[in-house]
Structure 1
Amino acid sequence: MKEDTRFEKLKTLKEIAETLNEGNDLKETLNAVLKKLLRLTGLQTAWIFLIDDKGGFELTASAFLPEALMYDEKRLMCEGDCYCLYQYRQGRLDRATNMIHCKRIDTAIDMKTGDPEGITQHATVPLTDQNKRFGLLNVAAPEKIHFDKEELALLEAVALQIGTAIKRMKLAENEQRNVLLTERNRLAQDLHDSVNQMLFSVSLTAKAAGEMTDDSELREMLEFIQSLSHEALHEMRALIWQLRPQGLEEGVAAAIEKYAKVIGLNVKLTQSGVLRFSQAEEELIWRLSQEALANCKKHAEAGLTEVRISRSSSSIMLEIEDDGKGFKYNPDSNIPTLGLKGMKERTEQAGGSFSIRSEMNKGTKITIILPCNGKGEAEWRK
């Protein structure tokens, strides 16, 4: 019987290693691994916090959380602080720790959010690849108040595998993002060197030809060509800027303000909350803002467009409101333009919500709420 148990453990460890080696989607892979880990250890629940270099955390994966922690879409697990996170940020967790009293369970009990199912404490294991820290693995079971050395060694072995897999997947994501960025830059450069210059030449040629003729009809036609090429040149420069935004390295607010100047849009930007964004968050906010401002320029005929960015402990809110001509909009019908439809799809891929309010001659307001702390990061980068 003992040999059978040992064989089953080895088999499960092999399955965990295979899942981690083959996985490409971080959240999906980690959720699957946690279920296998619980089957291996006989424990009831487990969860993983990924923690960035600035100390921001995300509940990346969980399995069989008690009812008390499932309250309001796991809100108690996604915000606030706790002892294990504090210890991690202080650099005091370098191996499996036995045990840590769970502040989140205490909060859930005080709030009467549901049954804690006998869980009050958890073991905590840092996730590393021996060189870099990624976050924490927490495991617990009802009335469990102690893990022996063998149990902790097993958890550390699995945590090391998880850390190595996280590093691999993050490197793959970075490589994919760098390839996309390189291609965008190449396309922007090609457009600048070829199409942009050709349009500029057409505009100059039409202007010179118009000054050389006395034929009023021909001059009018050449002026029209000049005006059309000038407008196309302006559109091309805006497109190049969208592909390779200038100022994003200075922060998303600077990029939005510079883009507004490029397209000739009067924008007032306000920010509130602790505005510390990850690279993925900044890029998503920028892309959504860029599309909204482009729509304002093309369709709204707005005198002023307001962009408001705010952040709470659990979400980022982006509002774009203009005083333009507006349009008839029914929330139950299809979104009227491809640009708005793309914004909605991009927002929902990141796990956020997207809403529009618009009336004829009363302007349009777009409200976007995004999960913060890197949630949906892989989708945000698409």
Structure 2
Amino acid sequence: MSDPSNVMILKEIAELLNEETELESMLQDALEKFLNGTDFYAGWIFFIEENGKHSLVAHNHLPKAFLENNCHFMKVGGCWCVNRFKTGSLKKASNIIECKRIVDALNQKHEGTGGLTHHATVPLQSGNEHFGLLNVATPGQREFEEQELALLESVAFQIGSAIKRIQLTKKEQEIALMQEKNRLARDLHDAVNQLLFSITLTARGGAEMSDTKEVKETFNGLQSLAQEALTEMRALIWQLRPRGLEGGITATVKGYGDLLGLDVSIEIKGVVSLPSKVEETIFRICQEALTNCKRHAQTQKVFIYIESYSNKIDLLIRDFGCGFHAQHIRSLPSVGINSMQERATLLGGSFKVDSTPGKGTTIYVTLPY
């Protein structure tokens, strides 16, 4: 690899990184361009979380043995580079003398490893923030030269800066979205909510002032409709801006249940200290389940059980209402059920509904974190 070609590949990767706005596609495209423009053959990128859990977010030209069983050798167990990253002792691009993942694949496969025996690794970082690892390998090559490691380090610096840029952009978008939700919630509360409340009071006054039975019934019906619309409007405002989430899941869910006139009991097992995305997902699923209960279950009693483990959280939501035929969900899809399932799937979790007519409905959710 000559210096002019190194400059060219760095320029091409920089242009690609500046154009990308989605993290996973950016990593995959950058890795592919880097491998195609250099003598490195295969590559893979790990993201490593604060708790030490690593995930394979991009790979290119991996041999058959490493692709089998959904990239099993890449995703499970520990290895030298990941362990060094966790301890903070991996500072620059380095040759790996012996990779446990490659050794495991070689020990269990007589073919399909593509001649890979060793690899180089470099941390992906931006300033003091560390995101993961970029690993590269070439069949039959046990060690990479200083010039190759320097190029690898330069590319890792570019990718780390791009990761930080995308994360900041996503955060700005989330803040802007939250601000817009807050604005809409305020507008609904100050305008429509107050208007419905006024209609409720006016209808009540009209019923009390009238001596005619038919007119009283009309005003009472109008008051009932206005009160129902008011409850729906307050629930909508909660969906836009849940109050009390900073006080914990229990207070927020019970508060929403009180708003709907439901008797919600919650039991929590384990220490629940969750990432904000997981916490909000739990609340949104509970919120949708309680809304469905209010509309369809014909009961006021709901039981919620949350159990926290070291790497996942289980959520159970059970009402004691009329129930339904659960097998009809696919043929008659519910927007609420689909919404809950999508939220669970988005975080890599599972979702299940169990219901029987006359015996209520139970929702089971598992979310990794």
TM-score, normalization by structure 1: 0.82
Q: Deviations over 1:272-306 (max 9, x none)?
A: 67755333333333323322221122112245434
In the alignment, residue 244 of structure 1 is paired with which amino acid? Answer: R
1:12 is aligned to 2:22: no
Q: Sort the Cα spacing of 1:199 and 1:268 in 2 relative to 1 into closer, same or farther, 3 A.
A: same
Q: Sort the Cα spacing of 1:59 and 1:261 in 2 relative to 1 into closer, same or farther, 3 A.
A: farther
Instruction: Say whether the 8 Å CA contact 1:96–1:126 is kept in structure 2.
Output: yes
Q: Sort the Cα spacing of 1:113 and 1:80 in 2 relative to 1 into closer, same or farther, 3 A.
A: farther
Number of positions where the alignment pairs a residue of Structure 1 with one of Structure 2: 369
1:330 is aligned to 2:327: yes
Question: CA–CA distance in 1 between the matches of 2:153 and 2:261?
Answer: 57
3-state SS, counterpart of residue 88 of structure 1? helix
In the alignment, residue 92 of structure 2 is paired with which amino acid? Answer: R
Instruction: Say whether the 8 Å CA contact 2:197–2:230 is kept in structure 1.
Output: yes
1:180 is aligned to 2:177: yes
Q: Sort the Cα spacing of 1:154 and 1:310 in 2 relative to 1 into closer, same or farther, 3 A.
A: farther
Q: Sort the Cα spacing of 1:37 and 1:251 in 2 relative to 1 into closer, same or farther, 3 A.
A: farther
Which of 10, 14, 23 matches 1:26?
Answer: 23
Question: CA–CA distance in 2 between the matches of 1:282 and 1:66?
Answer: 39
Instruction: Say whether the 8 Å CA contact 1:308–1:320 is kept in structure 2.
Output: yes
Instruction: Say whether the 8 Å CA contact 2:257–2:263 is kept in structure 1.
Output: yes
Question: CA–CA distance in 1 between the matches of 2:60 and 2:309?
Answer: 26
In the alignment, residue 27 of structure 1 is paired with which amino acid? Answer: E
| Shift of residue 318, structure 1, vs aligned partner | 4.1
| Shift of residue 177, structure 1, vs aligned partner | 0.9
Q: Sort the Cα spacing of 1:226 and 1:320 in 2 relative to 1 into closer, same or farther, 3 A.
A: same
| Shift of residue 100, structure 1, vs aligned partner | 5.8
Question: CA–CA distance in 1 between the matches of 2:303 and 2:347?
Answer: 23
1:124 is aligned to 2:111: no
Question: CA–CA distance in 2 between the matches of 1:365 and 1:71?
Answer: 37
Question: CA–CA distance in 2 between the matches of 1:59 and 1:231?
Answer: 49
Could you list the runs of 5+ residues in structure 1 that have no partner in the other structure? 374-382
| Shift of residue 111, structure 1, vs aligned partner | 7.3
Which of 54, 69, 88 matches 1:72?
Answer: 69
Instruction: Say whether the 8 Å CA contact 2:326–2:356 is kept in structure 1.
Output: yes
Q: Sort the Cα spacing of 1:252 and 1:122 in 2 relative to 1 into closer, same or farther, 3 A.
A: farther
| Shift of residue 225, structure 1, vs aligned partner | 2.5
| Shift of residue 65, structure 1, vs aligned partner | 3.2
In the alignment, residue 165 of structure 2 is paired with which amino acid? Answer: R
Q: Sort the Cα spacing of 1:64 and 1:325 in 2 relative to 1 into closer, same or farther, 3 A.
A: farther
Which of 89, 93, 98 matches 1:92?
Answer: 89
Question: CA–CA distance in 2 between the matches of 1:21 and 1:184?
Answer: 30
20-29 vs 242-251, which moves further: 242-251
Question: CA–CA distance in 2 between the matches of 1:332 and 1:112?
Answer: 44
3-state SS, counterpart of residue 336 of structure 1? coil
Q: CA RMSD in A?
A: 3.2
Q: Deviations over 1:294-336 (max 9, x none)?
A: 1122112245434444566776554433332222343684343
Q: Sort the Cα spacing of 1:110 and 1:18 in 2 relative to 1 into closer, same or farther, 3 A.
A: same
1:249 is aligned to 2:246: yes
In the alignment, residue 193 of structure 1 is paired with which amino acid? Answer: D
Q: Percent identity?
A: 45
TM-score, normalization by structure 2: 0.85
Q: Which residue of 2 aligns with 1:43?
A: 40
Q: Which residue of 1 aligns with 2:336?
A: 339
271-280 vs 31-40, which moves further: 271-280
Which of 218, 221, 224 matches 2:221?
Answer: 224
3-state SS, counterpart of residue 322 of structure 2? coil
Could you list the runs of 5+ residues in structure 2 that have no partner in the other structure? none
Instruction: Say whether the 8 Å CA contact 2:6–2:151 is kept in structure 1.
Output: no
Question: CA–CA distance in 1 between the matches of 2:303 and 2:112?
Answer: 45
1:166 is aligned to 2:163: yes
Question: CA–CA distance in 2 between the matches of 1:366 and 1:352?
Answer: 13
29-38 vs 73-82, which moves further: 73-82
3-state SS, counterpart of residue 330 of structure 1? helix
Instruction: Say whether the 8 Å CA contact 1:296–1:302 is kept in structure 2.
Output: yes
| Shift of residue 185, structure 1, vs aligned partner | 0.4
